Structure 1
Amino acid sequence: MSLIEAAREVRENAWVPYSRFKVGAAIRAASGRVYVGCNVENVAYPEGTCAEAGAIAAMVAGGDTRIDEIAVIADSPTPVAPCGGCRQKIAEFAGPDVEVTMATTEGQTLTRRVADLLPGAFDAAQMERAAGPAA
């Protein structure tokens, strides 16, 4: 099964009683295992979970920590990119050249590298000074 197909399948499980906007995501980890996630809304809107974040959480829970490829699908006229927060989450586990394929349920796709989706990403190297002794 392709990543887009896996994302399409899990998208059907999305819990979206408020927006009705279902999103599915699938990750191929460095191990070759595939992890999926769908968006889960909550009446307290900021408390929901994006599909990409759910797939990343499943990957980490499954013992993997490196993303080799990711696909995201939604019923939209054009491919939908991950939100800013999810772009940062993806960058935590994926190198800058990892491909993110965004798809519509009608079959349109757009592929971008993580570095193109999140230029100037904040990363652990920027925290090196914080690792030293407290002043």
Structure 2
Amino acid sequence: MTTSTFNPVPAESVPEKDGLIHGVSAAELQDIGQKCLDAKATAYCPYSLFRVGASLLLHDSATSAGAPRIITGANVENAAYPVGTCAERVAMGTAVVSGHKLGDFKAVAVATDMDEFCSPCGMCRQFLREFLGLDVPIFMFSKEGKFIVRTMGELLPLSFGPDVLPPREELKKAQEKEARDD
């Protein structure tokens, strides 16, 4: 698929406000959809043959002049099965080593070769939660370019993230007090 022919189509009713879906424009949705499809084509999956591509859309404020606004990843398998890495974690790892952090991400897109929609696995949901706000949309594309969208909070309700942890100073004081009381 080329960018000019790729046209994301919602598979269900999606909330739009001012022509945006969860704050993402039609052009941005087309770009992240195309990029995750392109990334899927680079997947290394000789064992499962299950290709996955992911793309992360950065906020304008999180990019510098000339830097890409979209970071991609694909799944990478290994003969020792548990050693493989999912597309979402490859993309996010690339983003993190490029200097991006919590608050830099506007949207995520994931694509597979399935007729149906495939959401990030549980491990990826928790990994993404470390760097995504609960309101960040995750667009899940079928092989035909149809999509559904859920927010991070919808995919991982009652989640455990960095905002849930008490400040380090508070934890250290509690540990010191516990040690004194023993």
Question: Normalising by the residue count of structure 1, what TM-score does the alignment of the two structures yield?
Answer: 0.93
- The question of 1:67 aligning with 2:116 is answered no
Map Cα deviations across residues 11-50 of structure 1 (whole Å, 9 max, x no partner).
1110000000000000012325211000000111111000
CA drift at 1:128: 1.6
Identity of aligned residues (%): 36
- The question of 1:25 aligning with 2:48 is answered no
CA drift at 1:127: 3.0
For 1:112, the equivalent position in structure 2 comes to 150
- The question of 1:14 aligning with 2:43 is answered yes
Partner SS, residue 18 of structure 1: coil
Match of 2:71 among 21, 27, 35: 35
Structure 1, unaligned runs of 5 or more: none
1:129 and 1:107 map into 2 onto residues whose CA distance is 43
Cα pair 1:95 1:114 within 8 Å, conserved: yes
Q: Following TM superposition, where does structure 1 have runs of at least 4 consecutive aligned residues deviating by more than 3 angstroms?
A: none
CA drift at 1:124: 2.4
1:45 and 1:87 map into 2 onto residues whose CA distance is 20
1:99 and 1:8 map into 2 onto residues whose CA distance is 17
> Which structure has the larger Rg over C-alpha atoms?
2
The structure richer in strand per residue is 1
CA drift at 1:107: 1.6
For 2:131, the equivalent position in structure 1 comes to 93
1:113 and 1:15 map into 2 onto residues whose CA distance is 28
- Counterpart code for 2:172: G
Cα pair 1:29 1:59 within 8 Å, conserved: no
1:25 and 1:126 map into 2 onto residues whose CA distance is 26
* Cα separation, partners in 2 of 1:63 and 1:125, compared to 1, 3 Å: closer
Partner SS, residue 101 of structure 1: strand
- The question of 1:58 aligning with 2:94 is answered yes
Aligned CA RMSD, in angstroms, stands at 1.5
